[in-house]
Structure 1
Amino acid sequence: MSYNIAIAGAGIGGLTAAALLSRQGHQISIYDQFDAPRPVGSGLVVQPVGQAVLNEIGAGDAARAKGNPLRRMLGHEADNGRRVLDVTYDHDPDGAHFGLAIHRASLFDVLHRAATEAGVAITPSHSITGYKDGHLHFDGRAPEGPFDLVIDSSGASSPLSPIQARPLPYGAIWGTVPWRECGLPQDQLTQVYRRADRMIGVMPSGTLPDSDNQQAAIFWSMPRNAYEAWRTHPLSDWQEEIAQLWPEAQPIFSQITSHDQMTMARYAHGTLRRPYSDGLAIIGDAAHKASPQLGQGANMAMLDASALAKALAQYPLLDALPAYAMARRWHVRIYQAMSWAFTPQYQSDSRILPALRDRALFPVSQIPPVPKILTRLVRGDMIPPMASLTPRD
């Protein structure tokens, strides 16, 4: 059966859902608050589970052409140089699994093309304020509808989701700069920590749309309320601290010549117990928020979109929404719990947690079978992402 479906937000989850559902024959309309849909942020990692969803909409090859394969995540303690994080993506000889580091603009471009080629209509300049009786309400505009289903993919600040999230004490500033050879492997996300109050990262992230020049996403952890103070200090102070903590990365960070090149990202943690209501399905950050420590945010949104599309293909609408929620429940819960446990070890003011990380947890992480478990955790397939939605014979 074909449905008239509205999607709130032209982000990663919304565009993925639009491409999947339009291919099933549904009538899809996306409403976005910006004058022209655009991505917000720097680089991210599409894990193997997310790449599988990209393949579903025929966008996998295009994404891989713009992204950069990551084979390893490696982190060192700045003061003593010891490894405190070391996860490889594949323990098999063929190396079939990898993380796809990609700039948000390039991923957005790939998903936007997949959605528009599937016939999806995208309506810009519509700031959503509410949903009632199958109609979407907007700021300063007439309501639209009725729709058989509204999908809320409007992100962490969703006006439609009832999610209650706890702000996390640490966020990070992010930027994008041209990749420079400086001794860092190009197939590796590399990080340096000083206890847990400093985290610095460099991630080779492929190319931007309409460009063949390799880029790197860079980030620096800081308390969520420290951004304005950072902006008031000379940039040279920050560059000097980077050079002291991680001299090897200084050639990459030295390309930042203005505070405006770095954007602050603040994080929160929370999960909807029931990501749907009458005629409304909630996906992505509107349904579950977490820090990006495990690199799963974009993947969770795409998996939500895929699970919802599969549920609508298998069940009538009234049954499809609880089927979607059931399919995603345990995968979301486990990854939310893991994020909650891991994040303070790398982003906090604690002195005890990073010491425990360095002296106990990391040594244990190198003892079989723990390395393979961590690999599955990072790849996103530690448990099946949507086990209950198996195709019917």
Structure 2
Amino acid sequence: MSPSRALVIGAGIGGLTAAAALGDRGWSVTVLERAERLEPVGAGIAMAPNALRALDVIGAGDAVRALRTWSGRGGLRSPSGRWLVPTTGDRTADRFGAPVVLLARSTLVDLLRDRLPRTVELRTGTAAALTRPGTRGRPATVTTAHGEILHADLVVAADGIHSPVRRALFPAHPGPRYAGFTTWRFLAEAPAERVEPHETWGRGRIWGTQTLPDGRVYAYAAAVLPAGLRSRDGERAALLRLFGGWHRPLPQLIAAVPEEAVLRNDVHHMLRPLPALHAGRVALLGDAAHAMTPSMGQGGNQAVEDAVVLAQLADPAGPVPDALAAYTRQRLPRTAQVVRRSARASRMTTLTSAPACALRDLSLSAVGRLAPGLALRALAGIADWCPPPRTYAARTQSPVRH
């Protein structure tokens, strides 16, 4: 076994970032992806300032920043269309030192794949299972669905919210639980009228519309519903029932989108943190480690943070168990806090009581008029995160390899 071999299970945003960062540090990396092709789950994603600074570590931050489209007006609206908390993309950039960039998940995956060093092998159509987590003196072992047995000094489990690796490492942990609401997402051609980026909050329902760099619109919605439901007449019909009476251009976007383009998913999160983000020679990252609600848009951002911190700590010539213990110490408190804050934010957006919603909207409107910058405090301590300085130093001395 090569002393610097790493296996990454899962080629999502976190897995690809980890592969690029570990490759830049000198690891020989193999990425094992179950799907036959890299077709990311989901439609769009918001990369916040903290994730952009993390992406700088692998030389991808500026490429994402160049795709920024939101600098003008946007904010929070009521179902009638009234602006509750107007803001601008520039205000966010000024507050946190970098913008929020909205882009298609497929665009980000392509960009990360292009940043993989030559030492990274990407194998699609290769389901894999952890068979032995390894110890200080023995490698970890992974078995593929083809019967291949692979040994590695480090295994990175980026295998998603229902992670088999997490269940194998921590079988007593309850795992993700239903957060009380379901979501819909789709990409659509932009309507003729101008679309200002916004979220709209109603009673137990929210809607978001964002314009992407390629001119399409990313729309997402959520509603408080029992878990496991599906609409008998299709998800587009369900969206029209829930949001068809809200302000323009919501009904027009829903009416124009093909049924097959609408994705529906129940939301699960892990309010109870794992006891550690590692075991043996295996590290968990992203949703596998700390699934959270999308209410603060931090799921993918935290996965990117995980990846660059893990790569900084995991010296290919050093003791991996010690590096993974340091990874847990650095990442577990922060990610547990982000999970909790996301859960609190989701409670605000899923209120169903009419008086509670009226009070919420009145408070938000007052904040929008009297202290518009106050709304950005929700991201304080999250969006202003920076990678440790040593990571930046290492990256500037090691240019991206193609």
The answer to whether the 8 Å contact 1:70/1:101 transfers is no
Taking the aligned partners of 1:111 and 1:11, their CA distance within structure 2 comes to 10
Single out whichever of 71-80 and 147-156 deviates more from structure 2.
71-80
Taking the aligned partners of 2:72 and 2:47, their CA distance within structure 1 comes to 12
Quote how far apart the aligned CAs of 1:325 are.
1.4
Single out whichever of 48-57 and 292-301 deviates more from structure 2.
48-57
Aligned length, in residue pairs:
377
Taking the aligned partners of 1:129 and 1:290, their CA distance within structure 2 comes to 24
Counterparts of 1:348-363 in structure 2, within 5 Å, are: 348-351=351-354, 353-360=356-363, 363=366
Identity %: 22
Going from structure 1 to structure 2, the CA distance change for 1:237 and 1:283 (only over 3 Å counts) comes to: closer
Q: Report the residue type matching 2:380 in the other structure.
A: R
Are residues 1:110 and 2:111 paired? Answer: yes
**Which residue of structure 1 lines up, in the alignment, with residue 398 of structure 2?**
none
Going from structure 1 to structure 2, the CA distance change for 1:119 and 1:178 (only over 3 Å counts) comes to: farther
Q: Report the residue type matching 1:64 in the other structure.
A: R
**Which residue of structure 2 lines up, in the alignment, with residue 272 of structure 1?**
274
Q: Deviations over 1:128-173 (max 9, x none)?
A: 233314111233x224321111100011121001351221110211
The answer to whether the 8 Å contact 1:224/1:266 transfers is no
Q: Deviations over 1:48-98 (max 9, x none)?
A: 111112222122233334453456651122258351575866367699521
Q: Report the residue type matching 2:147 in the other structure.
A: A
Going from structure 1 to structure 2, the CA distance change for 1:90 and 1:344 (only over 3 Å counts) comes to: same
The answer to whether the 8 Å contact 2:81/2:248 transfers is no
The answer to whether the 8 Å contact 2:195/2:211 transfers is no
Going from structure 1 to structure 2, the CA distance change for 1:85 and 1:3 (only over 3 Å counts) comes to: farther
Q: Deviations over 1:298-327 (max 9, x none)?
A: 110000001101111496312111111112
Taking the aligned partners of 2:359 and 2:392, their CA distance within structure 1 comes to 44
Going from structure 1 to structure 2, the CA distance change for 1:24 and 1:293 (only over 3 Å counts) comes to: same
**Which residue of structure 2 lines up, in the alignment, with residue 211 of structure 1?**
none
**Which residue of structure 2 lines up, in the alignment, with residue 210 of structure 1?**
none
Going from structure 1 to structure 2, the CA distance change for 1:170 and 1:348 (only over 3 Å counts) comes to: farther
**Which residue of structure 1 lines up, in the alignment, with residue 289 of structure 2?**
287
The answer to whether the 8 Å contact 1:2/1:25 transfers is no
**Which residue of structure 2 lines up, in the alignment, with residue 121 of structure 1?**
121
**Which residue of structure 2 lines up, in the alignment, with residue 263 of structure 1?**
263
SS at match of 2:151: coil
Quote how far apart the aligned CAs of 1:340 are.
1.2
- In structure 1, the gaps of 5 or more residues are 208-213
TM-score after normalising by structure 1? 0.84
Are residues 1:173 and 2:173 paired? Answer: no
**Which residue of structure 2 lines up, in the alignment, with residue 206 of structure 1?**
213
Counterparts of 1:149-160 in structure 2, within 5 Å, are: 149-160=154-165
Are residues 1:335 and 2:332 paired? Answer: no
Counterparts of 1:1-393 in structure 2, within 5 Å, are: 3-66=4-67, 68-69=69-70, 74-79=75-80, 81=82, 83=84, 90=91, 97-115=98-116, 117-132=117-132, 133=134, 134-139=140-145, 141-161=146-166, 162=170, 164-185=175-196, 188=197, 190-195=198-203, 197-207=204-214, 214-223=215-224, 225=226, 229-232=230-233, 235=236, 238-239=239-240, 242-256=243-257, 258-270=258-270, 271-313=273-315, 316-351=319-354, 353-360=356-363, 363=366, 367=371, 370-376=374-380, 380-381=383-384, 384=385
Taking the aligned partners of 2:37 and 2:118, their CA distance within structure 1 comes to 19
Taking the aligned partners of 2:92 and 2:301, their CA distance within structure 1 comes to 21
Quote how far apart the aligned CAs of 1:367 are.
3.9
Taking the aligned partners of 1:172 and 1:387, their CA distance within structure 2 comes to 35
Going from structure 1 to structure 2, the CA distance change for 1:91 and 1:44 (only over 3 Å counts) comes to: closer
SS at match of 1:135: strand
Q: Report the residue type matching 2:292 in the other structure.
A: A
TM-score after normalising by structure 2? 0.82
Taking the aligned partners of 1:131 and 1:362, their CA distance within structure 2 comes to 54
The answer to whether the 8 Å contact 1:20/1:306 transfers is yes
SS at match of 1:287: helix
SS at match of 1:340: helix
Taking the aligned partners of 1:374 and 1:284, their CA distance within structure 2 comes to 21
Taking the aligned partners of 1:388 and 1:326, their CA distance within structure 2 comes to 17
- In structure 2, the gaps of 5 or more residues are 135-139, 395-402
The answer to whether the 8 Å contact 1:50/1:302 transfers is yes
Q: Deviations over 1:214-262 (max 9, x none)?
A: 1111122134547754342695674476442112434433321x32220
Taking the aligned partners of 2:217 and 2:45, their CA distance within structure 1 comes to 11
Q: Deviations over 1:246-298 (max 9, x none)?
A: 12434433321x32220012211113231000010000000001111101111
Quote how far apart the aligned CAs of 1:127 are.
1.8
